[in-house]
Amino acid sequence: MSAVLEQEAMHEPDVLFRVVNRVAIVTLNRPAALNALSHDMVRELAVLIEQCRDDSGIVAVVLRGAGTKGFCAGGDVRALHGMRQRNESGWQQFFIDEYRLDYALHTFPKPVVALLDGIAMGGGMGLGQAARLRIVTERTKIAMPETRIGFLPDVGATRFLSVMPAEIELYVGLTGVTLTGADALLFRLADLCVPSEWLDTFEERLLRIDTADVAAGDLLRALRTVFEPPCNIVPHAGLGAFTQLMMRHFDRRSGIERIVATLRQDLEREHAREVRQWLQATCDALTSHSPTMLYVTRDALLRGRQMTLAECFRMELGIVTRAIEEGDFSEGVRAHLVDKDRKPRWAPATLSEVRPERVRHFLSSPWRTQAHPLADLGGQSQNR
Confidence of residue 216 (pLDDT cuts 50, 70, 90): confident
Domain of residue 123 covers 3-383
Task: For 349-373, write each residue's pLDDT tens digit.
Answer: 999 999 999 999 999 999 998 999 9
CB 142, CB 319: distance < 8 Å: no
| Number of domains the chain contains | 1
Indicate the pairing of strand 133-136 with strand 15-20: unpaired
pLDDT of res. 10? 61
Give the C-alpha separation, 194 to 359, whole Å: 41
Beta-sheet strands, E only, within 14-172: 15-20, 23-28, 60-65, 70-72, 112-116, 119-121, 133-136, 141-143
Task: For 128-186, write each residue's pLDDT tens digit.
Answer: 999 999 999 999 999 999 999 999 999 999 999 999 999 999 999 999 999 999 999 99
Confidence of residue 383 (pLDDT cuts 50, 70, 90): very low
DSSP string of 234-253, one letter each residue: PPP-GGGGGHHHHHHHT-TT
Distances (CA, A) of 37 to 31, 113, 178, 316: 11, 18, 20, 18
Q: Where residue 29 sits, what CATH number does that domain have?
A: 3.90.226.10
